[in-house]
Amino acid sequence: MALAVSGGLAAQSAEPPAIRPAEPALNPPGLRSDQLGVWLTTVDSPVLRDPTAAAQARRFLQREGFSRAAIPLQTGGLLTWPALARNNPLGLALDPGLPATDHSAELLQGLRDDGLRTVGWFEFGLMAPAQAPWLKGRDDLLLRRRDGSELWLEGGRIKRVWLNPGAEAVQEGLVALVVDACTRLPVDLIQFDDHLGHPADFGYDPLTLAQWRRTEAGSTNPDPGTGDPAWRSWRAGRVTALLRRIRTAMVSHCPAVRLSIAPNPQAFSYRTYLADWLGWVQAGLVDEVVVQLYRESPAALARELAQPSLWMASQRVPVRIGLLAGLKGQVRPLARLEQDMAQVRARGLPAVDLFFYESAREQRLKHRLGAAMGNTPADGATLTP
């Protein structure tokens, strides 16, 4: 999850020229979405480590009126399900902290049995731990900055590297994992976020530069600056090409499974991660968008909800809003979260996803979260998608 928790992000980012202004009602009739979702994690949560915690999570989500849940399938450079060897050419290992190899599959099936829609979340996308064993001796798969460096610090301290979306081995490896997950796990959706893109200052590795210099723009500008518009657009196009390949594979192998993207607002995603999600929507490459709006003030949230990109996307696919319930030791006040949910609903958006489960549980929300979204099942009621 690419967190951008800020009260002033809207002021920092210039939205592309609007085709038409935002309107109060966003999701059009006929694009009905389930209302309340949540992300489960392997960090700061025992749900994917402990069957008892998983059972407790299922009871909580059903009781509180949640209608969908996302669990990480690819995170921390590991997998949370045992992909077939032929579908894992990159060699990602199974998370050794899982209580059993089939724990994720059982959790997903249990959530389905409870009436929830299930989302398989490829959290890391192109990002990987700097010391991932499967990357040893494979520097040719990595992106670099202009100074030749490969390391990127997540949160200013965790060492990461970025896979090259233009490398055939990267494309084949990620596509194969998606196909394995969507054909062998009980998922209704496969989801990526901004990590399907990569930081905008990366792309100066030999492979990327060689590919760029074979283009018309690259032949006249072989050493582009980081902010060069044509260079930025071309690299964003490589990310789009990877997504298109994933989409094509899913249509072929698991046509009933939807493809979801959970990015930050359009201007931030494009500027920071080269992720042109509005373009993906307009090209028919994704089936829904869950825009992460983790804001510190109601005014900042209101500015983001008024962005034209939300309205434009909503004319083609369901649009959901991701809200922050809290992080470890930083649970947001319930009144503020309910205020955020009321703002979202006032804009005509029917669906919210919360990050993350442990924060929602810690707040002991009981029926109040479901009521905020107009969803109030009785205790033990089975929800429908």
Dump pLDDT digits (tens) for 187-212.
999 999 999 999 999 999 999 999 99
Residue 384 lies in a domain: no
Residues 6+ apart with CB under 8 A from 266: 15, 16, 276, 277, 278, 307, 309
Give per-residue pLDDT as tens, 262-319. 999 999 999 999 999 999 999 999 999 999 999 989 999 999 999 999 999 999 999 9
Q: Using pLDDT thresholds of 50, 70 and 90, give the confidence band for residue 371.
A: low
Using the predicted structure, report yes or no on whether residue 139 has a pLDDT greater than 50.
yes
Query: How much is the pLDDT for 327?
Result: 83
What mean pLDDT do residues 321-326 have? Answer: 92
8 A C-beta contact, residue 261 and residue 196: yes
- Residue position matching structure tokens 């390391």: 151
Give per-residue burial for 347-383: e unless 16+ CB within 10 Å, then b: bbbbbbbbbbbbbbbebebeebbbebbebebeeeeeb
Whole-number pLDDT of residue 369: 55
Residue 14 has pLDDT above 90, yes or no: no
Mean pLDDT across the stretch 335-363? 89
Q: What is the value of pTM for the model shown? A: 0.87
Higher model confidence: residue 320 or residue 350?
Answer: 320
**Whether pLDDT at 356 is above 60:** yes
In this predicted structure, the answer to whether residue 21 has a pLDDT above a threshold of 70 is: no
Domain total in the chain: 1
What pLDDT score was predicted for residue 33?
A: 42
In Å, what is the CA distance from 163 to each residue of 12, 139, 177, 187?
A: 28, 9, 15, 25
pLDDT at residue 174 is higher than 70: yes
Q: Residue 133 domain-assigned?
A: yes
Domain, as residue range, for 256: 9-372
Residue 245 belongs to a domain with what CATH number? 3.20.20.80
In a domain, 3, yes or no: no
- Strand-by-strand arrangement of the 93-94 sheet: 74-75, 78-79, 93-94
Is residue 378 domain-resident?
no
Higher-confidence position of 287 and 362: 287
Cβ contact 144:150 at 8 Å: yes
